[in-house]
């Protein structure tokens, strides 16, 4: 326990001499094993964050959405086909994986019935799959990855997680994952750390996993999932991650699934909660998530615009014209509690 783990609010990005003339020229695009994103943001595959409307809007804004798995196989296929049929006619969408198919991520679990879910979605045209469980460094994830990779299907991208250690990254890469989703217990509505004591601070975790990928030349990319409270946190995550998954920051927007309600004070709101909450699990057994209400926030494109401009500014402060230069130039300084208050983080 010699190493003190840290997270986003513990650090600031130190500014550097910059020759970037305008943030508007900064390229914040990224590549996830053939998935090209002009905006390195992915909407979380949660039932109250990403449905078909969110996926479409994310792509229009340069990012990507991953459809959740908390529905029947038939509904999952229907939602995928709805998005696919809308996007396939676009003259220019944000980017594309190797097959030039529209960017639509889909989710599966690790149970036997999820093999049927995979087959049905693949037959419908899906080629970006997220093996989505709370603890990704697990034999059931290994078995699912082995089952998928043994079939040698062409041009699919497999995202797997969630994980939080360097050992997990090594194993998932060996098992066949292309992208690892990193973060356990850091989500806004996640109770894993308080209810189990398990977790790793998000920014320290990203650093150790990135170091491991570089050390062993692992052919995987990183999605940072959780712990984001403001745009500056996204910039800090991108020091090590290739993209950032957002749930809380996108909650309450027009495109999220669910109705808009009005409280007794006349304020409009929507509901948002973790995938392991009792409401989403459909049972009141031991849960590691909670539901909450969030103010109705309008169209998600305005939030994504703020993120885009904030990242371009962060890159320019580090004399970086693109993500690769930002990751090379970005340096953190650890700050005190007084500096946290001064920085409003």
Give 289's DSSP letter: B
The residue annotated as part of the active site, out of 61, 190, 318, 330, is 190
* C-beta separation of 30 from 37 below 8 A: yes
How many alpha carbons fall within 13 Å on the CB side of residue 22? Answer: 2
Whole-angstrom CA distances from 154 to 42, 108, 225, 297, 329 are 23, 18, 27, 40, 36
Which residue, 120, 141, 143, is CA-closest to 130? 141
Whole-angstrom CA distances from 268 to 188, 265, 295, 296, 299 are 20, 9, 6, 5, 14
Which tokens in the block code for residue 3? 């190493």
Give yes or no: 190 in active site.
Answer: yes
Which tokens in the block code for residue 279? 């409401």
Query: Does an H or E element contain 291, and which?
Result: strand 291-295
Whole-angstrom CA distances from 305 to 35, 249, 301, 333 are 21, 13, 6, 27
Q: What is the Cα–Cα distance from 20 to 14, expressed in whole angstroms?
A: 16
Supply φ then ψ for residue 63, to 5 degrees. Answer: -100, -150
Residues taking part in catalysis: 190
């Amino acid at each position: 326990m010699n190493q003190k783990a840290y997270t986003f609010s513990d650090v600031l990005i130190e500014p550097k001499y910059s020759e970037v003339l305008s943030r508007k020229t900064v390229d914040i695009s990224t590549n996830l094993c053939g998935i090209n994103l002009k905006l390195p943001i992915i909407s979380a595959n949660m039932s109250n964050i990403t449905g078909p409307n969110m996926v479409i809007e994310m792509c229009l804004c340069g990012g990507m959405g991953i459809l959740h798995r908390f529905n029947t196989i038939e509904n999952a296929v229907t939602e995928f086909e709805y998005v696919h049929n809308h996007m396939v006619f676009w003259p220019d969408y944000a980017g594309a994986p190797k097959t030039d198919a529209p960017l639509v991520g889909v989710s599966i679990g690790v149970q036997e019935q999820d093999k049927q879910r995979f087959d049905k979605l693949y037959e419908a045209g899906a080629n970006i799959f997220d093996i989505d469980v709370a603890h990704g460094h697990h034999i059931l994830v290994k078995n699912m990855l082995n089952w998928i990779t043994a079939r040698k299907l062409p041009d699919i991208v497999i995202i797997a997680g969630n994980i939080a250690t360097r050992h997990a990254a090594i194993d998932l890469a060996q098992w066949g994952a292309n992208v690892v989703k990193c973060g356990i217990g850091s989500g806004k509505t996640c109770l894993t750390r308080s209810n189990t004591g398990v977790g790793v601070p998000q920014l320290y975790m990203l650093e150790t996993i990135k170091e491991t990928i570089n050390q062993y030349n692992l052919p995987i990319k990183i999605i940072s999932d959780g712990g984001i409270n403001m745009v500056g946190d996204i910039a800090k995550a991108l020091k090590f991650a290739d993209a950032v998954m957002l749930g809380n920051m996108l909650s309450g927007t027009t495109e999220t699934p669910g109705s808009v309600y009005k409280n007794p004070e006349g304020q409009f709101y929507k509901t948002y909660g973790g995938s392991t909450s009792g409401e989403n699990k459909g049972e009141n057994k031991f849960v590691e998530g909670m539901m909450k209400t969030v103010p109705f926030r309008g169209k998600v494109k305005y939030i994504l615009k703020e993120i885009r401009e904030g990242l371009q500014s962060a890159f320019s402060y580090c004399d970086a014209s693109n993500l690769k230069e930002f990751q090379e130039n970005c340096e953190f300084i650890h700050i005190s509690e007084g500096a946290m208050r001064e920085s409003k983080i």
